[in-house]
Amino acid sequence: MNMPTPASSITGTYISEEEYSDWECPKMSREYNRLAERENVLAYAQEQRYQSSQAQAFWYGYGQGDGVEAFELASVRGRRNAIRNAMNNKNCANKNHPR
């Protein structure tokens, strides 16, 4: 049937947190927030693709499959996970909010 994957089912690709180990906490935080915005846009686009594919599959018997949105969404989610891990390793939360 070649249906696209729902955005909620797309997991992040593995990206090593070492890529961000030299970054300072504020820079990682900004990048994390930028990626969160991009993730929202891509998740919306993927859901639109999924919904239009459902209609197409109803009429023609096949959907559109995953496009670049799914690939990029997985990449963005993987980058966010790597940054989150790097931030945890550097204890960034405590540096930004001293107790």
The per-residue pLDDT for range 32-82, each reduced to its tens digit, is 999 999 999 999 999 999 888 878 777 778 777 788 899 999 999 999 999
Query: pTM, whole model, 2 decimals?
Result: 0.83
Between the CA of residue 22 and those of 25, 70, 80, 86, what are the distances in Å?
Answer: 10, 29, 16, 9
Spatial separation of the C-alpha atoms in residues 14 and 33, rounded to whole Å? 19
Domain ranges (residues) in the chain: 17-96
The DSSP element (H or E) to which 21 belongs, if any, is: none
Determine the pLDDT at residue 97.
45
